[in-house]
Amino acid sequence: GAVVSQHPSRVICKSGTSVKIECRSLDFQATTMFWYRQFPKKSLMLMATSNEGSKATYEQGVEKDKFLINHASLTLSTLTVTSAHPEDSSFYICSAREMTGVAEAFFGQGTRLTVV
Amino acid sequence: GESVGLHLPTLSVQEGDNSIINCAYSNSASDYFIWYKQESGKGPQFIIDIRSNMDKRQGQRVTVLLNKTVKHLSLQIAATQPGDSAVYFCAEIYSGTYKYIFGTGTRLKVLA
């Protein structure tokens, strides 16, 4: 299957700083990328959907100014957690879909964010 | 046996036995379903998928059953192995939005 790479896999940051997480599709062009958040022992919660070249669509309850998403190219989307706080600590996972009309999406390996 | 804890329900099976993991989905309009395996600290790994025009699909050691009448999905793993220990999630997708909605997940523990 297609490969989606997330970087970094782990990051620790201080409260008040911002952290950027990258999601890259390595062998295909991703028209749509999704960002999820996963709490310990919980399921994946969709945060936002981003289409290349347009603004991301955020799910209800997700602060768009807190979680900045940029999908500037067909192979890269970034999630920036701004002014991070300890409650933002979580596992963040991206997925990418190759083309419109195709349902299958491929998942990155996730990023463990710890805010201290 | 199966137990429901405070968080993820857990299914414990003996090595070599068959496992059945169940999932109830919410949207009757969902037309594509996927089972994922997630190991600790990793992203979801695709296992098997099924479209709504089918009620059964088989892969290598795995079978997915879909019952649209009761909005139920199951994953059967034959001859469960220690490497199958993980958390399993079902995902429902509606082709109108292509959003993935994940189920609550089930932790599978394989006992030696």
Would you list the DSSP string of B69-97?
A: TTTEEEEEESS--GGG-EEEEEEEE-TTT
For A110, the token pair is: 């996730």
pLDDT in tens, B39-55: 999 999 999 999 999 99
So what's the pLDDT on residue A53?
A: 82
CA distances from B20 to A10, A78, B5, B37 (A): 33, 37, 18, 14
For residue B7, the chain A residue with the least C-alpha distance is A41
Q: What is the mean pLDDT of chain B?
A: 91
So what's the pLDDT on residue B1?
A: 46
Could B101 and A46 be called an inter-chain contact, meaning their C-beta atoms sit closer than 8 Å? yes
Could B95 and A103 be called an inter-chain contact, meaning their C-beta atoms sit closer than 8 Å? yes
Could B104 and A43 be called an inter-chain contact, meaning their C-beta atoms sit closer than 8 Å? yes
CA distance A8 to A22: 7
Most A CBs within 10 Å, among B87, B94, B99, to test the A interface: B99
Contact yes or no for B111/B15 (Cβ under 8 A): yes
pLDDT reading at A105 higher than 90: no
Mean pLDDT of all residues in A3-14: 96
Please name the member of A49, A97, A109 whose beta carbon is closest to the beta carbon of B42. A109
Of the listed ranges A33-37, A71-75, B85-89, the one predicted with least confidence:
A71-75
So what's the pLDDT on residue A60?
A: 95
Could B43 and A97 be called an inter-chain contact, meaning their C-beta atoms sit closer than 8 Å? no
Q: Is B94 on the interface with A (CB under 8 A)?
A: no
So what's the pLDDT on residue A101?
A: 61
Contact yes or no for B103/B23 (Cβ under 8 A): yes
pLDDT reading at A3 higher than 70: yes
For B99, the token pair is: 């959003």
Q: Is A62 on the interface with B (CB under 8 A)?
A: no
So what's the pLDDT on residue B84?
A: 97
CA distance A116 to A85: 8
Percentage above 70 pLDDT, chain A: 95
Mean pLDDT of all residues in B59-79: 97
pLDDT reading at A62 higher than 60: yes
pLDDT in tens, A67-102: 999 988 999 999 999 999 999 999 999 999 887 666
